[in-house]
Chains A and B, each alone.
Chain A
Amino acid sequence: MSAASPDGAWRPSELELGRRAFRRRQTWRSVLVSALSTLVFAGLLAWAVLGSPGWARVAETFFDPEVAIASLPRIAQGLLLNLQVLVFAAVGVLLVAITLATLRTLRGPVFFPLRAIAAGYTDLFRGVPLLIVLYLVGYGVPALEFFPRLPVAVWGTIAIVLVYSAYVAEVFRAGIEAVHPSQRLAARSLGLSHAQTMRRVVLPQAIRKVTPALMNDFVAMQKDVGLISVLGAVDAVRAAQIETAHYFNFTPYVVAGLLFVLLALPMVRLTDWVTARMRRREQIGSIV
């Protein structure tokens, strides 16, 4: 169908050019349609909320711009603590979870105790609510007076690592099991040891497979770091609480909430992008 050209190179045919023009028009039309429907929807929503009888009072107690601006510095300060906890917790969770998942793949009777401990750990910490683990670790463990006095944020981080590593270990284990057994056979028949096979062949593939799920757990953790406020750590949530009491106004909570959303957004977008990219890789060339 391609038109001949003097230099013999391929030029799109009339038919193809026509198809491209049609597709361009289609794209424009769908952009217009979606913009219009968004406007209509937002308008309806605004009309319903703003027109409600209690809106004036809600606006005053939850959306007071002056209170928002006044409380922002302290809350942002608190968010820095959340960020620190998040970074340490993420690293801790990854290390503990990979170790747990690897322990559960060990074969042979010698490793029974390790396997059993790993299995018991994941069962336990997936079952207990995070809040309870926070209280137990944050108040109970220091009361043993066995450890030096540490900031509450440290205990909070440990509690988060305990709970999240149990979940993430299961994600890794699913990933490890999703690697085709032939891969293990191929590696072992090349003479690689069990450990080499795990580290060079199985884990790299498993991690790739579970990356979207891991990123999702990370997003969940991003907001759960706000729970360390129950231990009295002055993070964004606790700071908002203090500001709320000070101004007799709930706006600081809304500010803290928005900050958490802003913190999560890049990761959420990245997760979507990675997931979409992996899906594309798996169905190369196909458009359905």
Chain B
Amino acid sequence: MSRAADEAQPPAGAAGEREPVLALSGVRRAYGEHVVLDGVDLEVRAHEVVALIGASGSGKSTLLRTANLLEPIDDGVIRLAGRDISDPRVDADAVRARIGAVFQHYNLFPHLSVLDNVTLASRLVHRTSKAEAERRGQELLASIGLANFARAYPDRLSGGQQQRVAIVRALATGPELLLLDEVTSALDPELVGEVLALVRSLADGGTTILMATHEMAFARDVADRVVFLDGGRIVEQGPSREFFAAPREERTRAFLARVLPG
């Protein structure tokens, strides 16, 4: 596949010439003999939405965790806005403070109110005043229609509401990049829609997102680019519509045939 396809169409107006927000090159991660990431190169540019797809066990979660420095790498380089963050001298807490992340489940802290969940990082990590953090937190909760739940505890919320709070919590500190790891896969089908709608509105608003997902239709509609991971490598990537309309690689076609209905 051509290089041109790789870099095709960053969203109009995006800073094509600037450093990518996230850049992985030659990233390798193995558990003993089992190589999960085998030299992965991946770039995410500002305001771009990239969907990571692949079979279960293909290493999507691992890749997201390495980007967040929650998982050590065995080789390669990871850059955040041009700066090498895989250097052991880098303050990992400071890096994570610049990246938002939401996982499959158990994201919210059950012993804190919804508002405290949203403001925790602002107050502890970014040293924002309580009043300012709460003002911003209320604003974010209002934006997802949950202002009335600010003082409630997470167990009063439905699964979909909890995931939406987790997403705005990750955004409360204004991160440069949002990592989403299958944020809907633990939800009942009727709750998936509201979470995807929130992600879609963030994407439309210009948030830079790297997301692992099993929702192919959602990846096609919302992502600018789709990346297919298989056997620890990126087998194919491209603009989402082209990717789904005309996959070039045999392995991609086989995978899509399995996961797409019809």
Contact = CB atoms under 8 A, between A and B. Distances in A.
Contact of B120 (A182, A188, A200): A200
A191 B105 contact: no
A209 to B, nearest CB: 10
A205 B111 contact: yes
25 contacts: A182-B105, A182-B107, A185-B70, A186-B103, A186-B107, A186-B108, A187-B109, A188-B70, A189-B70, A189-B101, A190-B96, A190-B97, A190-B120, A190-B169, A190-B170, A191-B93, A191-B94, A191-B96, A191-B173, A192-B121, A193-B93, A200-B120, A200-B124, A201-B109, A205-B110
B96 A182 contact: no
B162 to A, nearest CB: 12
A192 B109 contact: no
A110 to B, nearest CB: 15
Interface residues of B, number: 29
B198 interface: no
Interface residues of A, number: 19
Contacts, number: 62
B255 interface: no
A140 interface: no
B111 A204 contact: yes
A280 to B, nearest CB: 13
A279 interface: no
Max count, chain B CB within 10 A of own CB: residue among A180, A186, A196, A204: A186
Contact of A208 (B103, B108, B111, B120): B111
Counting chain A CB atoms within 10 Å of each CB, which of B111, B125, B166 scores highest? B111
Interface of A: 180, 182-183, 185-193, 196, 200-201, 204-205, 208, 284
Nearest to A193: B93
Contacts of A204: 111
A185 B166 CA distance: 13
A52 B97 CA distance: 76
Contacts of A192: 93, 120-121, 124-125
